[in-house]
A and B are shown apart, each in its own frame.
Chain A
Amino acid sequence: MDYDPISVALKFGFLAVLYLFLLVIARSAFKDLRRTTSPAPDATGFHAAPAFSEVVRGEDAWLVVERGGGLEADERFDLIGGLSIGRSRESDVQIEDRYASSLHARVFSRDARFFVEDMSSTNGTLLNGATLVGEAELIDGDTVQIGDTVFRFEVQ
């Protein structure tokens, strides 16, 4: 078989277009990588970093993860400005729990005191083991349980 010039030209043309095309797509993939600003806390990228909107004066307080929710134990969520807890992406603390509602509960501060409020969740919220009705004040060491997920309230 002789090497037909047309055939050779088509082959190299094909390879050139192929690589140009792949280069363009690869470039956009790298651009995407650089655009990712905050690195995921672990390889799975399951845990979204909490966002804060507003700083309220008062004592520093945290919700500390005891167990469950697809969160790392001892992970701390700063309570400045309040936090919403639920299964949806919109929640500040996104938990993976079968018994959690998409917006399950919120923690907020009023006059330098902290409160937890159940947001009419389907399965309810337990404060220190008792069902929470409406809102209640949080005291250092309190536990808040949503489904199988348990948080501890800590003040500085």
Chain B
Amino acid sequence: MTSARNRELAALVPVAILLTAGFAAVFAQEEARLGNLSMIYGAYFLAVCVATHIYLRIRLPNADPYLFPLVALLTAFGLVMIYRIDDGLARDQANWFVMGLVLFALTIQFLRDYEVLERYRYTIAGAGLLLLLAPRLPGIGQQVNGAYLGVKIGPLAFQPAEFSKIAIVVFLASYLREHREVLIVGAKRVLGVTLPPLKHFGPMLVVWGASMFMLVFIRDLGSSLMFFAAFLALLYVATGRFSFVVIGMAMFVVGAWFFASTVPHVHERVEIWLDPYQDPTGSGYQVLQSIFAQADGGLFGKGFGQSLITIPGTDAALLPAAQTDTIYSLIVNEVGLFGACGVILIYLLVAARGFKIALLASDGFSKLLATGLTAVFAIQAFVIIGGVTRVIPLTGVTLPFISYGGSSIVANFVLLALLLLISDRARREAVEPADRDLVFGRA
């Protein structure tokens, strides 16, 4: 079905135009002139995207046509914003974008038969957990702002949580695919609430324990929330029992509340969230500046390249961690509420396409894997956007495809590759209806 690929190609053009316009606006602001450099950047971007598109046309002709353009748009947003902060960082980010696409292509090349993931699920789960714990290992672990998020081996530094989220979703999808029946069949109704069978309650407790463990040892509230919410989404899709979700959420709230009052780092995050004014120049500074930046943006924003990131005349940050944690606030500041709603809409559309893939997929594992990957992606966006808008405590999760960071970009491109692999198979089966009459030997 080439019409899907043609739509993809057509959708990449406005994305490249948007990138060009964004860069042009930044240049117009910084150098007070309109050079042709933005056109060159736009052309490079389009060339890279079209190359990927041609690869998809050969390898996955039936895959969803809009996922890649939507993701390219997020990356374009990120590149413009990061360039606006620091052109050196933007060059790094552009390199990571290309690296991400290479890994994206390799994933599609070598995981065409993604069912093999199911066979190695315990290995994958082990690797995922090891990655999560790596930042706590002496020698290679790094502590950033009190949370253990980074790993540094020689010159190579990365955030393992970004990769482990994929590993854990793969494991959960394959585990629940096999055990969903017993979870439903063994369920008992107690006081009008459907409880999962006690024997199979174990895995749920293990996942809950793992996310609580992350809260305490990695001190990463955001990732912990992200993993557990993805697990609940998967559990709901696998069993169709809403009560399991409610029970899981209650367990998480109780656990998070307990640790928020006992673990100092988590406690501090919650305190800042509830009352950022208690230390406006210290711990509350980032949240407050992020909110002020968003308010300052207004409906249509101040325009590309117009917002202040450092206090004029000094190097002190007016908007701390603008290229990573608070990049969303920067977007609101520069393109306003409308631009920010556009960004949220992009994430919503990606999520919609992802769930559509899950609906179309024919077997349980594909359905659950597509659901899990989409859920973890959407929840990650929620956790960080919620953090900078003070809906939930601010944590150091990246805004997928927009934030500066190699691990985030590369890992999310692997996630996208898996979604497109599932989509390609599902849509191929949907257009070639199975010929059941062959079974019965009738014409």
Binding site for B on A (CB under 8 A): 1, 3-4, 6-8, 10-15, 17-22, 24-26, 28-29, 32, 36, 40, 42-46, 51, 53-54, 67-70, 82, 84, 88-92, 96-98, 103, 106, 108, 148
Contacts and interface: CB of A to CB of B under 8 A. Distances in A.
Contact of A54 (B66, B429, B442): B442
B81 interface: no
Contacts of A82: 440
A70 B25 contact: no
Contacts of A24: 11
A96 B436 contact: no
Interface in B14-33: 14-15, 17-18, 21-22, 24-25, 28-29, 32
Contacts of B239: 44
Interface string B327-361: 00000000100110010011001001100101100
A6 B185 CA distance: 65
7 contacts: A6-B25, A18-B18, A18-B342, A25-B11, A45-B367, A53-B437, A96-B364
Contact of B24 (A10, A17, A19, A51): A10
B237 interface: yes
A10 B304 contact: yes
B359 A40 contact: yes
B180 A11 contact: no
A4 B28 contact: yes
Given A17-B17, A25-B11, A29-B356, A7 B29 contact: yes
A70 B439 contact: no
B116 interface: no
Given A7-B25, A7-B305, A43-B240, 13 more contacts: A4-B303, A7-B28, A7-B306, A11-B335, A17-B18, A22-B345, A25-B66, A44-B238, A44-B367, A90-B434, A96-B181, A108-B440, A148-B181
Sort chain B's interface into a size bin. Answer: 35 or more
B303 A11 contact: yes
A105 to B, nearest CB: 11
Contacts, number: 136
B338 A1 contact: no
Nearest to B14: A21
Contacts of A7: 25, 28-29, 303-306
Interface in B308-339: 335, 338-339
B300 A12 contact: yes
Interface in B361-414: 362-364, 367
B346 A22 contact: yes
A4 B32 contact: yes
B439 A90 contact: yes
B347 to A, nearest CB: 11
Interface string B428-443: 0100001111011010
A155 B13 CA distance: 61
A21 B353 contact: no
A132 B385 CA distance: 59
A98 B300 contact: no
A45 B359 contact: yes
Contacts of A11: 25, 300-301, 303-304, 335
B185 A68 contact: yes
A40 B360 CA distance: 11
Contacts of B73: 18, 21
A40 B359 CA distance: 9
Contacts of A96: 177, 180-181, 364
A12 B437 CA distance: 57
Interface in B234-251: 236-240
Interface string B68-104: 0110010000000000000000000000000000000
Given A7-B305, A96-B181, A26 B14 contact: no
A63 to B, nearest CB: 16
Contacts of A4: 28-29, 32, 303
B349 A29 contact: yes
